[in-house]
């Protein structure tokens, strides 16, 4: 079983290092080019289906990959990106400077923090676990297209790790849009 976690192509918020959360944004021109490259990367992975968040830009990324590779696409509403409340649209640097303790705690243990007027981190983690039950039970190789921070929560869950977002929003991590995860599905430590 091979599982790919695919982050969507670039949006204006990625360029500006802003938190997107559940805000729907279109891809930039660079994002469109990234999706074209993703198609080539995914082509050699031998996946048999794609699951996607209903959020933009994940959905448009997943549709283009599925269409070009002739793969079935299933949109899972439970893969909606995390609602970051009042943090949505703010620069990561701005949040770190205004609420450093809370933001650091949220990155290191998202299940223990609820962004102001946002989604409770523990609920988001439970939603991810529930969303992955059927795809994992079905088996085979597949891809999941989701934006950050949901993509990192998915990866942690599949690898049996405690949720950790500490590297999710680093500019240098933006270059890795597709990563293969070897699921351990063990109990989180």
Q: Does 189 map to a domain?
A: no
Question: Residue 70: which domain range?
Answer: 3-181
Q: Does 188 map to a domain?
A: no
The model carries a pTM of: 0.90
- The CA angle 175-61-81, to the nearest 5 degrees, is 80
Q: What is the mean pLDDT of the chain?
A: 90
Q: Does 96 map to a domain?
A: yes
Q: Does 187 map to a domain?
A: no
Q: What is the CATH number of the domain that holds 71?
A: 3.40.50.1240
Q: Does 186 map to a domain?
A: no
Domains held by the chain: number:
1
pLDDT-based confidence at residue 187 (cuts at 50, 70, 90):
very low
**Helices first, then strands: H and E counts in the chain:** 7, 5
Structure-token match 């279109």, residue found = 26
The answer to whether residues 17 and 47 touch, using CB atoms and an 8 Å cutoff, is: no
Q: Does 145 map to a domain?
A: yes
Give 118-165 pLDDT, tens digit per residue: 999 889 999 999 999 999 999 999 999 999 999 999 999 999 988 888
Q: Does 68 map to a domain?
A: yes
* Structure tokens that stand for 41 in this block: 């990367």
pLDDT-based confidence at residue 31 (cuts at 50, 70, 90):
very high
Q: Is the predicted pLDDT of residue 179 greater than 90, yes or no?
A: no
């Amino acid at each position: 079983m091979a599982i790919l976690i695919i982050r969507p192509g670039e949006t204006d918020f990625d360029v500006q290092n802003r938190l997107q959360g559940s805000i729907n944004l279109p891809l930039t021109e660079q994002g469109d080019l990234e999706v074209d490259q993703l198609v080539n990367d995914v082509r050699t992975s031998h996946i048999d289906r794609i699951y996607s968040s209903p959020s933009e830009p994940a959905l448009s990324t997943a549709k283009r990959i599925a269409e070009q590779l002739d793969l079935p696409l299933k949109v899972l509403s439970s893969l909606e990106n995390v609602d970051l409340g009042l943090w949505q649209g703010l620069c990561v640097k701005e949040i770190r400077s205004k609420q450093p303790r809370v933001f650091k705690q949220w990155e290191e243990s998202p299940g223990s923090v609820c962004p102001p007027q946002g989604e409770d981190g523990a609920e988001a983690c439970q939603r991810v676990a529930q969303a992955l039950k059927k795809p994992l039970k079905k088996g085979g190789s597949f891809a999941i297209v989701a934006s950050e921070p949901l993509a990192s929560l998915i990866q942690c869950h599949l690898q049996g790790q405690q949720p950790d977002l500490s590297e999710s929003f680093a500019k240098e991590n933006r270059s890795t849009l597709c990563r293969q995860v070897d699921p351990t599905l063990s109990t989180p430590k």
